[in-house]
Amino acid sequence: MTQLDAQAAFTGTTEPEGADRLDEAALTRWFEANVTGFAGPLTVRKFKGGQSNPTYRIETPATAYVLRRKPYGKLLPSAHAVDREFRVQSGLSRAGFTVPPQYGLCTDDSVIGSMFYVMGCVEGRTLWDGAMPGATPQDRRATYLAMVDTLADLHNVDVEAAGLSDFGKPGNYFGRQVDRWTKQYRLSETEVMPEMERLIAWLPATLPEQTRTSVVHGDYRIDNLIFAPTEPRVLAVLDWELSTLGDPLADFTYFCIAWMTDNGGRSGVQDLDRAALGIPELDEVVARYCERTGRTGLDNLDWYLAYNFFRLAGIVQGIKKRYLDGTASSAHAKASSERVHPLAQAAWHYAVRAGA
């Protein structure tokens, strides 16, 4: 799936088929009982993008909603926690951060077959390609700086005021994450990869000190944001499946791996002529983030990059296992699953640079 036209492949909706169909009568009854202002009839379409939690556009004559549900079938422990997505967005919304309005959570599997939640549909642009084809250099630059500023704003949210002080465990975030993704990787392992074995030994032995705790998004990149229709402004941050309380540097350095990843029609900008396109260089991005979050700088970036590529390898290994088991929810799962080994190799490359 090299040079994928992701904008075309992932944008828009499709008619739900087979197991992806929802019981519209049961769903209507739930909306009537739980969503203030709901007026049917409703129609259901499935969004093409994403492969973690199946996502639907629910249309009524007056309003559009978004529904996200757990996938059906056997799931890894702690994965696909849509109730956590709903909770974190509800708290952040109260704190004034840019997330869609939240309407309700359904924990009763009998309604549509799995837990789900409903939020408002924010109408705007989704940008799948970090090169932003068709944009001006000025727009690209402003869009990238808006992404940095929005992430800094998230990390500056008062966790207590958002009602999220118990949304994750305090301290030792990287230790817990390395342990979590090691376990998730082991549960979905399909072959032995020497790089992953070395990383599983090296990462826990070299953890950086955690000096701050914030809400972390866990998957902050260009295609998980909704931008205003005609200006470089973030209207909403989406896809909170991996969010928790943790070290904000995990989030920020995950965003930074776009500069270490070739584009291929997705979020990477490593192989682009960034100067010509107007995309800021990584040192400017780091400086702007540090300024907005009151930091003096960022040490040992290579360790954080190794960790993030390791974590991505663990996530994509989960997609690969679901694809092999026949439960992956996206037509693009097979292509994603082929990325596991290159991600593991990239992780070890940065580990070596960090002194491994």
The pLDDT of residue 328 is 62
What pTM was estimated for this model as a whole? 0.87
Say if domain 6-120 classifies as CATH 3.30.200.20. Answer: yes
Q: Distance (Å, rounded) from C-alpha 328 to C-alpha 331?
A: 8
Backbone phi and psi for residue 28, each to the nearest 5 degrees, phi listed first: -60, -45
Please state the separation of Cα 57 from the chain's center in Å: 19
Number of residues assigned to the chain: 356
The model's pLDDT over 212-246, given as tens digits with 9 standing for 90+, comes to 999 999 999 999 999 999 999 999 999 898 899 99
- Of 180, 274, 269, the closest CA to residue 218 belongs to 180
The model's pLDDT over 185-222, given as tens digits with 9 standing for 90+, comes to 999 988 889 999 999 999 999 999 999 999 999 999 99
- Please provide the CATH number assigned to the domain covering 137-353: 3.90.1200.10
Q: Distance (Å, rounded) from C-alpha 356 to C-alpha 171?
A: 24
Lowest mean pLDDT among 2-16, 74-88, 318-332: 2-16
Average pLDDT over residues 19-41: 93
Cis peptide before 342 (omega within 30 of 0): no
The model's pLDDT over 273-297, given as tens digits with 9 standing for 90+, comes to 999 999 999 999 999 999 999 999 9
Edge to edge, the sheet with strand 55-59 lists: 13-14, 43-47, 55-59, 64-69, 116-120, 102-106
Q: Distance (Å, rounded) from C-alpha 71 to C-alpha 54?
A: 6
Residue 324: pLDDT band with limits 50, 70, 90: confident
Any residues with CB less than 8 A from the CB of 173 and at least 6 apart, and which?
A: 210, 213, 216, 245, 246, 247, 250
Please state the separation of Cα 168 from the chain's center in Å: 17
The model's pLDDT over 58-115, given as tens digits with 9 standing for 90+, comes to 999 999 999 999 887 665 555 668 999 999 999 999 999 999 999 999 999 899 988 9
Residue 4: pLDDT band with limits 50, 70, 90: very low
CB 324 within 8 A of CB 334: no
Average pLDDT over residues 316-338: 75
Q: Distance (Å, rounded) from C-alpha 52 to C-alpha 71?
A: 8
Q: Distance (Å, rounded) from C-alpha 150 to C-alpha 215?
A: 13
- Of 107, 106, 91, the closest CA to residue 33 belongs to 106
**Domain range list for the chain:** 6-120, 137-353
The pLDDT of residue 197 is 97
Average pLDDT, whole number, for the chain? 90
Q: Is the pLDDT of residue 24 over 90?
A: yes
Q: Distance (Å, rounded) from C-alpha 54 to C-alpha 56?
A: 7
The model's pLDDT over 118-163, given as tens digits with 9 standing for 90+, comes to 999 999 999 999 999 999 999 999 999 999 999 999 999 999 999 9
